[in-house]
A and B are shown apart, each in its own frame.
Chain A
């Protein structure tokens, strides 16, 4: 096991679109072990996408369980993930391991359903809200070569709040 190096913008590799995982084999397992170790070696970091560690396959890991008082699904390994439903929008501040010393405001859906395979290739579905939903959307963007910098909104947009019901 090893902590993997994280690519840092403006590295152009962060703009690559990752390809689907097709074989759930020993090589994948080995990568996942390092990937998991890498996320947990980064203090305060709640998610990581495979392309951030120079592995251009559609894999993301989200774990917001360390944040007190928020709903979450525990450690979420998302392979070939797809967001099947999204609802609401909210502005929130984001930063990124791949973009040191800069944070900014981004609009994200407040509730999502995400369908993804696990380490064995089994399809699973998760409902995420709030902070966890934001983390999932942030990580899935990496799989499409997008950074939060691609979605920054101006300060005026701070007044765009959660959708009123």
Chain B
């Protein structure tokens, strides 16, 4: 798993993936996002090379653009997706503890987070927090309604929707 963080600018993905491609590295699944002016990359790569060799491969590009790179050997395989069966959409005035409060309630209900995306919007003096979580909960969304009731009472808007994937 390659992790890359650095100040956002155009061309980071192009430069990194070109270096990996030229080095014979195969790319797997990835999650990349601009977070607070930084560009962040989490990227599954497949290579016979050791983690240090990967670092060396993208080292010149990373150094030239002040990117911090980290490579970890992982046990990981493709084609092992878990289908989410519930989506939690949360928004409210930003304050400390929203994520902890929501995810503790979800964890207590046995919810497994598969994908979490959050952003801070609004204005600097009145920020809002918006978060979407897809995941899998055994037994369906009713357990989540109960688990998240205290969170709602604390003034956070929470929408719980079942995800019923259509296969056609």
A45-B168, A94-B168 as given contacts; A103 in contact with B83, CB under 8 Å: yes
- Are A102 and B81 in contact, with the CB atoms below 8 A? yes
Tell which of A42, A62, A93, A97 touches B163, judged by Cβ atoms closer than 8 Å: A93
Tell which of B79, B84, B89 touches A159, judged by Cβ atoms closer than 8 Å: B89
- Are B166 and A135 in contact, with the CB atoms below 8 A? yes
A155-B132, A158-B132 as given contacts; A93 in contact with B166, CB under 8 Å: yes
Tell which of A101, A102, A135, A159 touches B168, judged by Cβ atoms closer than 8 Å: A135
The CA-CA distance from A44 to B167 in the complex, in Å, is 7
The CA-CA distance from A154 to B73 in the complex, in Å, is 30
Contacts of A97 in B (CB 8 A): 167-168
Q: Does A139 contact B (CB under 8 A)?
A: yes
Interface residues of B in 66-84 (CB under 8 A from A): 79, 81, 83-84
Q: Does B123 contact A (CB under 8 A)?
A: no
Of chain B, the residue at the smallest CB distance from A44 is B167
The CA-CA distance from A47 to B165 in the complex, in Å, is 13
Give per-residue flags for A41-63: 1 if the beta carbon is below 8 A from chain B beta carbons, else 0.
01011111100000000000010
- Are B132 and A46 in contact, with the CB atoms below 8 A? no
A158-B87, A158-B132, A159-B89 as given contacts; A45 in contact with B167, CB under 8 Å: yes
Q: Which one of B81, B115, B168 has the highest number of Cβ atoms from chain A below 10 Å of its Cβ?
A: B168
Contacts of B165 in A (CB 8 A): 93-95, 103
The CA-CA distance from A1 to B34 in the complex, in Å, is 54
Query: Which 7 pairs of residues, A with B, have the shortest CB-CB distance?
Result: A47-B168, A138-B168, A93-B165, A95-B167, A94-B166, A101-B79, A45-B167
Contacts of A46 in B (CB 8 A): 166-168
Q: Does A145 contact B (CB under 8 A)?
A: no
Contacts of B166 in A (CB 8 A): 46-47, 92-95, 131, 134-135, 138
Of chain A, the residue at the smallest CB distance from B78 is A101
Give per-residue flags for B150-168: 1 if the beta carbon is below 8 A from chain A beta carbons, else 0.
0000000000000111111
Give per-residue flags for A22-54: 1 if the beta carbon is below 8 A from chain B beta carbons, else 0.
000000000000000000001011111100000
The CA-CA distance from A155 to B79 in the complex, in Å, is 21
Contacts of B83 in A (CB 8 A): 95, 103
Of chain B, the residue at the smallest CB distance from A136 is B168
> 18 more A-B contacts (CB under 8 A) besides A44-B167, A46-B167?
A45-B168, A47-B168, A92-B164, A92-B166, A93-B163, A93-B165, A93-B166, A94-B168, A95-B165, A95-B167, A96-B168, A103-B81, A139-B168, A155-B115, A155-B117, A158-B89, A158-B132, A159-B132
Contacts of A95 in B (CB 8 A): 83, 165-168
Q: Which one of A93, A95, A138 has the highest number of Cβ atoms from chain B below 10 Å of its Cβ?
A: A93
Of chain B, the residue at the smallest CB distance from A43 is B167
Interface residues of B in 106-120 (CB under 8 A from A): 115, 117
Q: Does A67 contact B (CB under 8 A)?
A: yes
Of chain B, the residue at the smallest CB distance from A132 is B166
Give per-residue flags for A1-36: 1 if the beta carbon is below 8 A from chain B beta carbons, else 0.
000000000000000000000000000000000000
